[in-house]
Structure 1
Amino acid sequence: MDRTFTKSMAWLHTWAGVSIGSLLFAIFWMGTLSVFDLEIDRWMMPQTRLVPSAQPLSLDRVAQAVTPQVPAGAAQWRVDLPTAREPVLTLSHRDGKGQATSRLLDPASLAFIPEQGTEAGSGFIFPFHYSLHVKWMDLGKWLVGAAAMSMLVLLVSGVVIHKKILAQFFTFRPRKRLQRSALDLHNLTGVLALPFHFMITLSGLIIFITIYFPTAHQAVYGSGEKAKAAFSADAYGRFKRAKANAPGTLGSLDAMQARAEAEWRGGRPYFVRVFHPGDANSYVELRRSYAADITMNLDQIYFDAASGALLHRFEARPVMTVQRFMSGIHFIRFDHWTLRWLYFAAGLCGCVLIATGFLFWIEGRRASHAKKGLAGVRVVEGLAIGSVSGIMLATLAFFVANRVLPLDAAFAGVARAQLEMGAFWLAWLAAFAHAWLRPAKGWSEQAWAIAALALLALLLNWSGTGDHPLRTLGTGLYAVAGMDAVLLGAAAVAAMVARRSGGRSDA
């Protein structure tokens, strides 16, 4: 029975990995990059490369600078405050129809920064990780959820079939045949980051519980829009007050901030939002920052805009606090650089785990499939090359396009941000085509291309902005220096892989 069970688990592990591996790699790759999404923003938006100011920021001065830019009749406006990772102010506002607009400001001068013309890391890479940019009926999030469930199956079955898991952790033979060394590396990266893989996969499922179980609240709140609104209010806060349709004023936001910080016992807000601006029933929301906490808290305080009187305070209840804690350990929005780099390294382990799983399957069946005239290996190898090295190429094409295109670039009515994303999708499609047309050289040629594009991106940033690594380190622009260092490291690793995969004999 035990042997039969182990064989069943091995079969499940193998075919679940082959069938879902391409999707899993894309999710892990983009998730790994998302650990530093705001740092990628700084690299892709040169005019936001600001050194954080040591001077305290006055919300009253901010309001004076931004309110003239808010159109009449706007439903709300919001300013996200600068942080060490995102040293800019972000003004966003919604009109009466819910249409959102956002602009960036320099916190020191309160001058508006020109439109950067890119979705960058936080607008493209991060949403790709959890939605695949497939919005129709939340299909992307459902696909990611299915992939997460498959990952849990793979992790459990992997532990079951590897009986000597601790011994395999200390076994890596890089000079053995490719199938053997791939399996060693697969086992090593799997065991090394096993707790992380479980934690990041399970938390990813939990934080989207309202999508995967959209009617779960009905057992307590009932059905209908009113019940859904009551659930949202209890779970997420969201105080509301109707407009008075009479003119009103905005009082001191600095005084409201001081009151909020006293209520939070020293906690600071990370954004301020004004609802119904210019109306007598206008009110102000302040949200507490979670930069110093693991839990992505939902602490909110609402004030009357004119008088500054406290209207409502919200703190999440225990169940929601657990959900927000899981969100915190998944999204890692708190400030802890050592842990952030560990997340990045563990994410790369996940990428290597998936890639070597592909390699082991391909090399284990290459000879038998060729002898039987089967096309399975060629199909899976094309998928593997396109989904592993291909998405890396596409990401670097995205970065290169960002450094090549001028800020006002447009083509056939397509704006610069869409051109950058178009470069990503076209490069990824080309990588898949190349993988199926040249499977024998696919790995090595795409690895060389990765090395070349990584170096090109670094050099284009240097030549276009003057921010070479020594300068960025000397001026405190550590986000840009770190991005350049990762590009340089990626080029070195890709060149090493290209040399070994291009000249290796597996006989």
Structure 2
Amino acid sequence: MSAAPQKPWRQRLGPVHTWVGIVLGGLLFAVFWMGTLSVFDREIDRWMMPATRLASPAGPTRLASPAGPPRLDAIAPLAQSLVPAGARQWRVDWATPRTPVLRLSWQTRDGQRELRYLDPATLAPMADPGTLGASGFFFPFHYGLMLSWNDLGKWLVGLAGMAMLVLLVSGVVIHRKLFADFFTFRPRKRLPRSSLDLHNVTGVLGLPFHFLITLSGLVIFWAVYFPQAHQGVYGSGAKAKAAVQAEGYGRYRPNATPATPAAPAKPLASLDAMAAQARARWGPGAEPYFVRVWKPGQADSYVELRRSYASEVSMNLDQLYFDAATGEFLHQFQAAPAMAVQRFFSGLHFIQFEHPLLRGLYFALGLSGCVLIATGQVFWLAARRKAAAPDARWRLVEALAVASTTGLIAATLGFLCANRLLPQHAQWGATDRPGLELLAFFVLWSLALAHGLGRAMQAWREQAWAIAALAASALLLNAVTTDAYTRVTTPWAVWGVDAALLALAATAIYAARRLKARGLAT
């Protein structure tokens, strides 16, 4: 009896593509959505932190320029007065065109991290913005889902990344007319057909980007996903991990000379002189982007300077260390070739270099990835609805799909609205203002899931209307609660966020009207 012939690869990969997308599509959308927003996280920070919307420097009386190096010797006394005694370290990050404020941060003896913003013109401490902002929420959510226990969030994001690679490869195999798919989009066809067309177009259009951005995301956390790579050489345990950090990322600790009552700490040497030494050692055009004082106030204190990567793709790890009391050069670190490859992939993924046009392209392609994932889910649901009557499991899948796409977008907009609605010093029990913003996000996200369970296919249209209303509300709240439209020095980033909100509201209205006219079942 002859064996049954095996199905061709295209047919065998079809179910893989379908089920990986259905099971992990919601997680993938969350990662892509937050990653796309993180491309402009500093600009969204300006929207969420009105006090940091500083004007460009004007006149010789300014002590520093948002785009230039600060006067570190003028900042040092202020830092020493603000940083509590016994802190492990404090650091100052340069102001940049995207973040036009100086950032003074420190780590206390018990590991807590604090952050204060300084006006680069006067070096005066600014009021607490009362928010995590996009860089403090969207960005960490993108790579860790705000789940730090045993790196659970990073493992889930890694699982989503591997799933995305499987989906991209299987999608290329199962689509025989890949080139034709790029030019085929029939928006007036019924929902299964039009959603599949849009799925194919965005998949083909952004295929190189989607593959590279996913692969680079996995490479960034190589030590988490593939610890055997370093455990085979360094072993396991705290000392081995410290050795990996020191040789891979440049953690430096000079030979300790314990402070005694007979040997008190000496005054801090000129930080500006150390920065000048760093520029000379790194060569023409090189500039530090932060200075960090380790063990401040102790006899064995030392200073670290990092070279900026604003003008290059790779996120270099170039570091210089100086004795804090004498300014004497102690150590220089440059990443080994293998680590330099990892930093190049990190630079491709994080796009921290200054290139506005390329940043806009990343944002557009990131949105295309979100559309790719969402339309894949919509197509499957619409096709299943035509084939059979929905059962309880199918309704759960649809509710999760609704919550993870339109629900997540609505929750994000609710987070922005809460930022503009909450009083500056809002408090609810032990929850401070940043915590209340997060609470608004997760409550709205939970409500979106409940709404999806209760309203089934109608939830898509109703949540599209909710997105339009929330986006318009966020735009109006920015105009009403800040001086964004009454001053001529408002940064373009703030108006850019408002323009994106307006475009999102218009897109949501169009989608809601289309869904009402044709219905999800046709």
Query: What is the aligned partner in structure 2 of residue 257 from structure 1?
Result: 275
Match of 2:128 among 109, 115, 128: 115
Residue type matched to 1:249 in 2? P
State the distance in 2 between where 1:2 and 1:484 align: 55
Residue type matched to 1:86 in 2? T
Match of 1:366 among 382, 385, 398: 385
Query: What is the aligned partner in structure 2 of residue 423 from structure 1?
Result: 440
Is structure 2 residue 364 aligned with structure 1 residue 351? no
Is structure 2 residue 353 aligned with structure 1 residue 334? yes
State the distance in 2 between where 1:489 and 1:2 align: 49
Query: What is the aligned partner in structure 2 of residue 165 from structure 1?
Result: 178
State the distance in 1 between where 2:472 and 2:235 align: 57
Query: What is the aligned partner in structure 2 of residue 185 from structure 1?
Result: 198
Cα gap change, 1:324 to 1:2, in 2 (>3 Å): farther
Give the match's secondary structure for 1:184.
helix
Give the match's secondary structure for 1:103.
strand
State the distance in 1 between where 2:362 and 2:423 align: 34
Alpha-carbon contact 1:369-1:375 (below 8 Å) kept? no
Number of residue-to-residue matches in the alignment: 502
Is structure 2 residue 271 aligned with structure 1 residue 226? no
Superposition TM-score, scaled by structure 1 size: 0.96
Deviation at 1:99, TM superposition (A): 2.3
Is structure 2 residue 311 aligned with structure 1 residue 297? no
Does 409-418 or 378-387 show the bigger shift? Answer: 378-387
State the distance in 1 between where 2:24 and 2:12 align: 18
Query: What is the aligned partner in structure 2 of residue 377 from structure 1?
Result: 394
Per-residue displacement from partner, 1:164-195 (whole Å, max 9, x unpaired)?
Answer: 10001100000001100000000000000000
Match of 2:506 among 478, 488, 492: 492
Query: What is the aligned partner in structure 2 of residue 101 from structure 1?
Result: 114
State the distance in 2 between where 1:222 and 1:355 align: 43
Give the match's secondary structure for 2:137.
helix
Give the match's secondary structure for 1:410.
coil
Query: What is the aligned partner in structure 1 of residue 62 from structure 2?
Result: none
Match of 2:49 among 40, 45, 50: 45
Query: What is the aligned partner in structure 2 of residue 390 from structure 1?
Result: 407
State the distance in 1 between where 2:467 and 2:34 align: 16
Is structure 2 residue 475 aligned with structure 1 residue 458? yes
Match of 2:420 among 403, 415, 419: 403
State the distance in 2 between where 1:223 and 1:120 align: 36
State the distance in 2 between where 1:208 and 1:52 align: 37
Give the match's secondary structure for 1:271.
strand
Residue type matched to 2:242 in 1? A
Alpha-carbon contact 1:52-1:83 (below 8 Å) kept? no
Q: Percent of aligned pairs with the same residue?
A: 58
Alpha-carbon contact 1:451-1:490 (below 8 Å) kept? yes
Alpha-carbon contact 2:484-2:490 (below 8 Å) kept? no
Give the match's secondary structure for 1:301.
strand
Alpha-carbon contact 2:95-2:101 (below 8 Å) kept? yes
Give the match's secondary structure for 1:362.
helix
Per-residue displacement from partner, 1:342-376 (whole Å, max 9, x unpaired)?
Answer: 00000100000011101110111103221xx6334
Residue type matched to 1:434 in 2? H
Does 209-218 or 117-126 show the bigger shift? Answer: 209-218
State the distance in 1 between where 2:518 and 2:176 align: 30
Residue type matched to 1:414 in 2? T
State the distance in 1 between where 2:108 and 2:367 align: 42
Is structure 2 residue 24 aligned with structure 1 residue 7? no
State the distance in 2 between where 1:42 and 1:364 align: 43
Deviation at 1:102, TM superposition (A): 1.5
Q: Superposition RMSD on alpha carbons, in Å?
A: 1.5
Query: What is the aligned partner in structure 1 of residue 23 from structure 2?
Result: 19
Query: What is the aligned partner in structure 2 of residue 33 from structure 1?
Result: 37
Residue type matched to 1:287 in 2? R
Give the match's secondary structure for 2:388.
helix
Deviation at 1:267, TM superposition (A): 1.0
Deviation at 1:78, TM superposition (A): 0.9
Cα gap change, 1:43 to 1:128, in 2 (>3 Å): same
Deviation at 1:476, TM superposition (A): 5.2
State the distance in 2 between where 1:264 and 1:103 align: 29
Alpha-carbon contact 1:288-1:297 (below 8 Å) kept? yes
Give the match's secondary structure for 1:445.
helix
Query: What is the aligned partner in structure 1 of residue 293 from structure 2?
Result: 274
Match of 1:475 among 466, 478, 489: 489
Deviation at 1:303, TM superposition (A): 0.6
Deviation at 1:95, TM superposition (A): 2.4
Alpha-carbon contact 1:366-1:377 (below 8 Å) kept? no
State the distance in 1 between where 2:338 and 2:49 align: 39
Residue type matched to 1:273 in 2? R
Does 24-33 or 241-250 show the bigger shift? Answer: 241-250
Deviation at 1:221, TM superposition (A): 2.4
Match of 1:126 among 130, 139, 163: 139
Query: What is the aligned partner in structure 1 of residue 77 from structure 2?
Result: 64
Unpaired runs of at least 5, structure 2: 58-64
Does 44-53 or 319-328 show the bigger shift? Answer: 44-53
Deviation at 1:224, TM superposition (A): 4.0
Is structure 2 residue 82 aligned with structure 1 residue 78? no
Superposition TM-score, scaled by structure 2 size: 0.94
State the distance in 2 between where 1:232 and 1:87 align: 31
Per-residue displacement from partner, 1:404-460 (whole Å, max 9, x unpaired)?
Answer: 001100112210100000000000000111111112321111111111110110111
State the distance in 1 between where 2:351 and 2:6 align: 40
State the distance in 1 between where 2:211 and 2:406 align: 25
Query: What is the aligned partner in structure 2 of residue 212 from structure 1?
Result: 225
State the distance in 2 between where 1:137 and 1:298 align: 26
Residue type matched to 2:469 in 1? A
Per-residue displacement from partner, 1:32-67 (whole Å, max 9, x unpaired)?
Answer: 001011111111011011134347521111112221
Deviation at 1:214, TM superposition (A): 2.3
Alpha-carbon contact 2:471-2:505 (below 8 Å) kept? yes
Residue type matched to 1:196 in 2? F
Per-residue displacement from partner, 1:300-340 (whole Å, max 9, x unpaired)?
Answer: 00011121111000010100000001111001111110110
State the distance in 1 between where 2:517 and 2:137 align: 36
Alpha-carbon contact 2:190-2:518 (below 8 Å) kept? no
Query: What is the aligned partner in structure 1 of residue 154 from structure 2?
Result: 141
State the distance in 2 between where 1:306 and 1:205 align: 41
Cα gap change, 1:461 to 1:258, in 2 (>3 Å): same
Residue type matched to 1:394 in 2? A
Deviation at 1:243, TM superposition (A): 4.9
Does 393-402 or 377-386 show the bigger shift? Answer: 377-386
Give the match's secondary structure for 1:113.
coil
Alpha-carbon contact 1:249-1:279 (below 8 Å) kept? no
Residue type matched to 2:480 in 1? S
State the distance in 2 between where 1:263 and 1:406 align: 48
Cα gap change, 1:243 to 1:92, in 2 (>3 Å): farther
